[in-house]
């Protein structure tokens, strides 16, 4: 079995789909956790702290244990936005969830579009070039898109043979060279006209463009994970902040209001 680009992409889709299921299951478990009751607070005082009382990742010996930046980053690599969700930054998490969903919807659309267009140009070659089968390699379809008939293709290959073996050239040498150097799954063809051949070539280019766009979507999914991982580290640092005095540099949303969204630039924050 030959593993080509489509097999690799299909494997990526399956693994990412399983990872997404696992990530969503983790997020769902957070939504079903009970709300912690205030313990040392005065009666009537509102409890605004982010609590996950039953989550072993947040509890150790009955005390709250915040998620580490490294773990938050790994969650976001698994599913962009999950690291933010686990650290309580749900507004930012929803942004990354939405981006991830849009990426994989785009990937699926482009893959289907590429496949449909591929089937169309193969059937087109059967009707207008006399190709008997649609089970040919990409090299074969690239070749028939460049030559009006197998006669032109054969003449071109033999002309290369004449140049290579000159001056010791005879008919048998050229015939052997033709058989050895023609496309592997060779089948004779004749296009009805040059315009029809160019139409076929345009259809094939459209199919390949759709597949390339699907690969771009995979690259976008990788970038989304990197971005989410970066901001997950930041969200974990915000969730784990201490009351000690000091200064820090920040990138992105304000430290005091992490749910307001993304902002550009650097800021210096002093804590007390």
Looking up tokens 């070539």, which residue turns up? 201
C-alpha to C-alpha distances, 171 to 130, 144, 149, 159, 212, nearest whole angstrom: 28, 24, 21, 12, 43
SS3 48: coil
pLDDT of residue 54: 45
pLDDT of residue 13: 54
pTM listed for this prediction? 0.63
Domain limits of the chain?
5-35+48-149+189-240+247-271
pLDDT of residue 231: 94
The gap between the terminal CA atoms of the chain, to the nearest Å, is 64
Please say whether the beta carbons of 76 and 20 come within 8 A: no
Instruction: Report residue 268: phi and psi, to 5°.
Output: -110, 125
Per-residue pLDDT of the chain in tens (272 residues, 90 and over written 9):
344 555 555 556 555 554 555 455 444 444 444 444 444 444 444 444 444 444 444 444 444 456 889 999 999 999 999 999 999 899 999 999 999 999 999 999 999 999 999 999 999 999 999 999 889 999 999 999 999 999 999 999 999 999 888 888 889 999 999 999 999 999 999 999 999 999 999 999 999 999 999 999 999 999 999 999 999 999 998 888 743 334 444 555 455 555 555 554 545 455 44
Tell me the CB-side half-sphere exposure of residue 56, using CA atoms within 13 A: 0
CA nearest neighbour of 180 among 165, 151, 158: 158
CA nearest neighbour of 79 among 96, 62, 60: 96
Looking up tokens 């390339």, which residue turns up? 212
pLDDT of residue 228: 95
- Give the tens place of pLDDT for each residue, 180-228: 999 999 999 999 999 999 999 999 999 999 999 999 999 999 999 999 9
pLDDT of residue 266: 47
pLDDT of residue 12: 60
Sign of the Cα pseudo-torsion (168, 180, 134, 7, in order):
negative
Whole-angstrom Cα distance, residue 211 to residue 192? 28
C-alpha to C-alpha distances, 200 to 47, 121, 271, nearest whole angstrom: 68, 6, 67
pLDDT of residue 156: 96
Counting other chains too, the contacts that 15-22 makes at CB distance below 8 Å and 24 or more residues apart are 16/104, 16/221, 19/78, 19/79, 20/79, 20/100, 22/78, 22/79
pLDDT of residue 258: 55
Whole-angstrom Cα distance, residue 233 to residue 236? 5
């Amino acid at each position: 079995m030959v593993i080509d680009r489509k097999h690799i992409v299909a494997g990526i889709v399956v693994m990412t789909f399983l990872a997404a299921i696992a990530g969503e299951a983790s997020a769902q478990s957070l939504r079903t956790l009970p709300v912690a009751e205030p313990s040392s607070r005065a009666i009537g005082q509102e409890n605004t702290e982010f609590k996950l009382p039953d989550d072993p990742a947040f509890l150790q010996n009955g005390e709250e244990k915040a998620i580490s930046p490294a773990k938050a980053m790994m969650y976001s690599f698994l599913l962009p936005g999950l690291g933010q969700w686990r650290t309580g930054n749900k507004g930012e998490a929803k942004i990354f969830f939405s981006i991830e969903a849009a990426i994989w919807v785009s990937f699926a659309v482009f893959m289907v579009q590429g496949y449909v267009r591929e089937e169309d140009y193969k059937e087109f070659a059967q009707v207008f070039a006399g190709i008997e089968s649609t089970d040919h390699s990409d090299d074969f379809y690239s070749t028939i898109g460049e030559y009006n008939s197998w006669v032109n293709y054969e003449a071109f290959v033999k002309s290369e043979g004449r140049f290579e073996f000159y001056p010791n050239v005879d008919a048998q040498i050229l015939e052997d060279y033709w058989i050895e150097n023609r496309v592997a799954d060779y089948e004779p063809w004749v296009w009805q006209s040059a315009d029809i051949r160019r139409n076929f070539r345009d259809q094939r280019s459209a199919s390949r463009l759709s597949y390339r766009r699907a690969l771009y979507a995979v690259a976008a999914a990788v970038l989304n994970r990197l971005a989410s991982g970066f901001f997950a580290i930041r969200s974990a640092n915000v969730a784990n902040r201490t009351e000690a005095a000091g200064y820090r540099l920040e990138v992105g949303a304000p430290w005091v209001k992490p749910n307001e969204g993304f902002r550009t630039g650097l800021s210096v924050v002093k804590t007390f």
